Amino acid sequence: MWDNARPRTTTDTREFLTRRDVEPVKQSPYSPDLNLCDRFLFLKVELPALGRRVLGPRGGYNRRPAGDEEG
């Protein structure tokens, strides 16, 4: 993922990718609708937690209903 963040634009990083013949996927900065982590990774992490008990804002446990978007 190439979004112009400083760690991904350093010379060392570019040389590392070039040596391994890796073509970075270019992405506009500040474009969460295109962020692959938000679209796939967080969904994979969140799905197993649906319907499980979570600690509520006042310290008590609540059941999170399946499909609840706010959590």
- Residue 41 CA to residue 1 CA, distance in Å, equals 14
Residue 49 CB contacts under 8 Å (≥ 6 apart), including other chains: 64
User: What number is the average pLDDT over the span 37-45?
Assistant: 68
pLDDT tens for residues 46-71?
A: 777 776 666 666 666 555 555 555 54
Single-letter residue type at 40: F
Q: Which amino acid is at 58?
A: R
**Residue 2 DSSP one-character state:** B
pTM: 0.32
Question: What is residue 40's DSSP assignment?
Answer: I
